[in-house]
A = this chain, B = another copy of it.
Amino acid sequence: MAVRRRQETMEENREKLISAGRKAFGSQGFAASSMDEMTASVGLTRGALYHNFGDKKGLLAAVVARVDGEMVARAQAASADAGDEWEQLLAEGAAYIAMALDPEVRRIVLLDGPAFLGDPSHWPSQNACLEATKQVVGKLIADGVMKPVDIDAAARLLCGAALNAALWVADSDDPKSALPKAVDAFSLMAEGFLVEKR
């Protein structure tokens, strides 16, 4: 068998660590996750962790970037076949709400991320969700569909509202019945930005 290249195995190990870190952070939270256990679960030691990611927070950042990236992909897929751009925005919002029902997303991206890495708008991953929302908001304002508000502010509020709605749904007594209520309230509130009601 051909000798394994160095970079290959390193890439594999990074992958293992990100994946295991995601599981650990997602299930126990960042603070309570032991890096000894986490690395052992994939047959490595903390040596690999500190070599690849610098420290525990470094791994969290990598995991956040990963999950964040997946979210944006899913949101764009969900809004792909929306009628117009306004409906696209609403579809993305609804998609974020649905995604944030995933416990991993909630804990890692919505709770521990901001608490341990600082505000999402300054993440190295640039918080892809925010970026995507800004794009759409910019277009909608240019087209005169949305009122002329600050793009950053509007995007942040819309994105934040969607994720906040998800937190509410997830922690409500009956998530199943809360979900439509949340989507409903979100859509309604978003309409505040519209020039003319629909």
Stretch among A13-21, A46-54, A176-184 lining the B interface: A176-184
Pair B184/A150 contact, Cβ less than 8 Å: yes
**Counting CB contacts under 8 A, is A31 at the interface?**
yes
Shortest distance in angstroms between A27's beta carbon and chain B's nearest beta carbon? 15
- Which residues of B lie under 8 Å from residue A121 when comparing CB positions? 168, 171-172
A contact residues, range: 35 or more
Residue ranges of A at the interface with B (Cβ–Cβ < 8 Å):
29, 31, 111-112, 114-116, 118-119, 121-122, 147, 149-150, 152-154, 156-158, 160-161, 164-165, 167-168, 170-172, 178, 181-182, 184-186, 188-194, 197
User: Complex: how many Å from CA A31 to CA B152?
Assistant: 30
Pair A188/B184 contact, Cβ less than 8 Å: no
Question: Chain copies in the assembly?
Answer: 2
Pair B112/A115 contact, Cβ less than 8 Å: yes
Pair A156/B184 contact, Cβ less than 8 Å: no
Q: Which of B116, B152, B157, B171 contacts A164 (CB 8 A)?
A: B157
Pair B153/A185 contact, Cβ less than 8 Å: yes
Shortest distance in angstroms between A86's beta carbon and chain B's nearest beta carbon? 13
Pair B157/A189 contact, Cβ less than 8 Å: yes
Pair A189/B167 contact, Cβ less than 8 Å: no
- Which residues of B lie under 8 Å from residue A147 when comparing CB positions? 188
Supplied contacts A111-B115, A114-B167, A149-B185, 15 more A-B pairs, CB within 8 Å: A31-B116, A119-B167, A119-B170, A119-B171, A153-B178, A154-B185, A156-B165, A157-B165, A157-B186, A158-B189, A161-B161, A161-B189, A164-B164, A191-B192, A192-B192
